[in-house]
Every structure is written in C-alpha cells, then in structure tokens.
Structure 1
Amino acid sequence: MTTGVRRRMGVEERRQQLIGVALDLFSNRSPDDVSIDEIAAAAGISRPLVYHYFPGKLSLYEAALRRAADDLAGRFVEPREGPPGARLLRVMGRFFAFVDDHGPGFSALMRGGPAVGSSTTNALVDSVRQAAYEQVLFQLDVTEPSARLELVVRSWISLAESTALIWLDGRRIPRAELELQLVHDFAALAAVSAAYDEGMATLLREVLASEPPDGPFAELLERLATLAP
C-alpha cells in the first residue's frame, strides 16, 4: 500500500530528471519553441525550481545536448566481427533511429537553435563527428589513416548528416533505403579515391575480399554493372 508521500529527489537526481524531460521535449519540437514553464510542468516542479538547478534554458539545452551527443556517438560503436558492409549498415540503422526519435532537436542543432554557435555546442557536435570518424577507422582496422582516407571518411560523415537533415523534411524516401544508400555512398567515395591512390586501392580490395555475395558492397557492384553499356 502506498502512502502518497512523494520522495524528495537529491540534487543530481533532480538535475538528471530535468535533463531527461528537456531532451524529450526538445526531441519532439524545436528547442526554440519549448519554454521553461513547459519543462517545469512536465517535471512536476515550479519554474523557480528549474532555475535553481540550471541558470537558464541555454544551460539546460546544453546539458540535454550533451546526453544526446553521448547517445549518438554510441550508435557508431560496432564490434569488428563479420563483413564490413553489414557492420556499416547496422551502424546506419542505429544512426537513423536516433535521427527519427530526435528529429526536431537534431535538426535544430544542425540548422540553428538556441545553443548553436556556443563553444559548448560546437565542441559536442565535433566530439560526435570525431567519435564516428574513429569508429569507421576501427572498422577498417586502420590506426594511421592516409590523407585520402581521412578525406573519404570525414566527407562521408558530413554526407550522412546532410542526408539525415534532408530526410527529416518530409521523410519522402524510405528510411531503410537511405541507410543502405549511405553504405553504398561510403563504398563509392572509397572507390573514387582508390582510382587515384594505390594505398586506397589496396584497402578497398581487402574490404571487398571479405564481402559476401549478398552483402551491401556486393549489391552496389551489381547495381553499377547494370548501368554499363
């Protein structure tokens, strides 16, 4: 039997609750459109109490963004087991699941929002990009990337961001198709670079050698073959 007495939260517990509430609200609407009053109401506390834990919406937004950034960076972590194409496809599935769940917040961050331009926000976004970059290199078993490989991987990460933003504006292409297309995009970028650099060519041969006939990279080769005259 419950007594109906509400348990008093500790300082850190309350902070984490507010971050979670704010993240939920920012995930469904642009942070610009969410007020402190709404955050307080959703958390079941007063507006002044929110300010007791956070100086203002910007600091709360940055805290929520930090949690989201950690979550997004974790989506790129994948065991180095099995064919590279299948691994990258699983990563893209988790990446788009995040984008799907946090659409308005993701869009506000990349296109402009209350904390965009702050050093904290820029550092968090860069940390996610760096985590993605390092994870791709890990999947390729490369510790010292060449200049061309770095260009390929960082360009592909930017392409994934842009693709996600465009997709959010109407979701006119099935999500699964874009996940596969981005895997193909990575292979295509690597192939173009391999045409100019023997080191990239060697790396690409190694990747394709471990690709099964029904893998994403093999499928791309089949699709491209149909375009040849």
Structure 2
Amino acid sequence: MTTGVRRRMGVEERRQQLIGVALELFSRRSPDEVSIDEIASAAGISRPLVYHYFPGKLSLYEAALKRASEDLAARFSEPHEGPLGARLLRVMRRYFDFVDEHGPGFAALMRGGPAVGSSATNALIDSVRQVAYEQILAHLEITEAPARLELVVRSWISLAESTALIWLDGRRIPRGELEVQLVHDFAALTAVSAAYDEEMTALVKRMVQDEPAEGPFADLAARLIALAG
C-alpha cells in the first residue's frame, strides 16, 4: 500500500492555480456570488492561505480578469491569409467560443463586476479593445487609420461586445447567425462610411476585390439585392 504525498507548490505556481480556480468559478457565476471560502475549497487549501497570496477577493478577481482579458485578446489573432470576410468570421467564432465558455466572466469583464470604477479593470478592458483594433487594422494592411476608419473599427468592436452581452441574456438568436451578422455589420459600416469619403471608398474596393462568391461579404450583397427586389 502506498501513501500519496501532496506536492508543495511554489509561490508563483500556487498563485497561478488560485487564479485558474477563481476564473473557473467566475466563469460560471457572478463574481459577487463567489466567496473566498469556495475558492479555497476548490483549490484544496485553507481560507487564510488564499489571503497569503492575495490580499482580498478583489485582487484575486482582477488577476483572474487579467488572464481572461489576455485569452480574449488572443482570439483576435488570425493569419493574414485568404479573404478578409472569412478571416473575420473565424475571429468571431473564436470570440463567441470565449463568450459561450465564460459567460458570467465575460459579462464581468465588460461591465466591471464588483470592480466597477477600478482603474486596473478599466485598463484590462481597454487593452482587449486596443488589441482587437490593431489586429483589424493589420488585416486591412493599414498602419495608421484615417479618422473615418478608426470610427468604423472601434464602433464595430463595441457592437461585437454589446451583441455578445445581449446574446448571453437568454441566447434567443442562434450563435452562428450572430457571428455572420457581425461580419456583415463590419462590411456595412465600412460601406456606409465609404459613401462619404473617397479614402474609405478605395478601402472598400480593396476589401471586396478578392472575396469569393460564397463568402460572407458576397452573402450580404445578395441579401441586400433580394430586399431591394
């Protein structure tokens, strides 16, 4: 008969374990509903030991949000190959994978949760938005966006956030439809802006020139033509 010996974790390893446990709990329930006792129990340690690594639930919550924000930001990373519409659709699918898996955590990240007003939390949210913004510009092969394009891209990122938050409240629209709709929204916002600006017109022409007939941009055009008919 052998006796199992619990391995002693190093300081950083234990911190990362607690962050992972907290993120898992915050992903399933509102952070306000998760107690330090629950986190300690799930990690297999005592409540005082949790406080040894984190001064309180807020600091642990912010550490968990930091990991979640890094994960969410990484969802916007996509190889610069193939039609833009297909790339954006893959990004939206990964984005909604995160939203689906971490519903309460995503809502807490975007709404601030118990850390409303925290400069650290706001900075995390802004960092995700900035990564998304820079990734979209990179796909458009633009280093510095003109004013109208910046407005389009940042508005679209906000639209993706609000769409995901509304979807979480009941999930009344099939997720796949929303993913495609958000890609259509990007094309539509860009096209509307192009109606007022020659620089945006040139960008739209570049966006659609290599789009296949079965791609999401062509699908949007077909739907609009059908409506007009």
Short-chain TM bin: over 0.9
Contact 2:112 2:122 in 1 (8 A): no
Matched letter for residue 86 of structure 1: A
Give TM-score, length-normalised by structure 2: 0.98
Give TM-score, length-normalised by structure 1: 0.98
Matched letter for residue 92 of structure 1: M
Where does 1:84-99 land on structure 2 (aligned, <5 Å)?
A: 84-99=84-99
1:135 maps to what in 2?
135
Contact 1:109 1:116 in 2 (8 A): no
Matched letter for residue 214 of structure 1: E
1:104 maps to what in 2?
104
Contact 1:93 1:179 in 2 (8 A): yes
2:13 maps to what in 1?
13
Matched letter for residue 90 of structure 2: R
Where does 1:29-68 land on structure 2 (aligned, <5 Å)?
A: 29-68=29-68
Is the partner of 2:114 in helix, strand or coil?
coil
2:75 maps to what in 1?
75
Is the partner of 1:227 in helix, strand or coil?
helix
Contact 1:27 1:106 in 2 (8 A): yes
Q: Give identity over the alignment, percent.
A: 79
CA shift for structure 1 position 116: 2.2
Matched letter for residue 169 of structure 1: D
Provide Cα deviations, 1:142-178, integer angstroms capped at 9, x if missing partner.
1111000000000000000000000000000010000
2:161 maps to what in 1?
161
Question: Unaligned stretches of 5+ in structure 1?
Answer: none
The answer to whether 1:194 aligns with 2:169 is no
Matched letter for residue 190 of structure 1: T
CA shift for structure 1 position 109: 2.7
Question: Unaligned stretches of 5+ in structure 2?
Answer: none
Provide Cα deviations, 1:47-68, integer angstroms capped at 9, x if missing partner.
0000000000000000000000
CA shift for structure 1 position 140: 0.5
> Whole-Å Cα distance in 2 between the matches of residues 202 and 116 of structure 1?
41
Provide Cα deviations, 1:74-97, integer angstroms capped at 9, x if missing partner.
000001000000000000000000
> Whole-Å Cα distance in 2 between the matches of residues 11 and 218 of structure 1?
54
> Whole-Å Cα distance in 2 between the matches of residues 7 and 17 of structure 1?
13
> Whole-Å Cα distance in 2 between the matches of residues 23 and 116 of structure 1?
18
Worse overlay, 120-129 or 108-117: 108-117
In structure 2, relative to structure 1, the CA distance for the partners of 1:175 and 1:2 (3 Å cut) is farther
Matched letter for residue 106 of structure 1: F
2:119 maps to what in 1?
119
CA shift for structure 1 position 18: 0.1
Matched letter for residue 4 of structure 2: G
Is the partner of 1:107 in helix, strand or coil?
helix
Where does 1:142-181 land on structure 2 (aligned, <5 Å)?
A: 142-181=142-181
Matched letter for residue 122 of structure 2: N
Q: What is the aligned residue count?
A: 229
Contact 2:112 2:121 in 1 (8 A): no
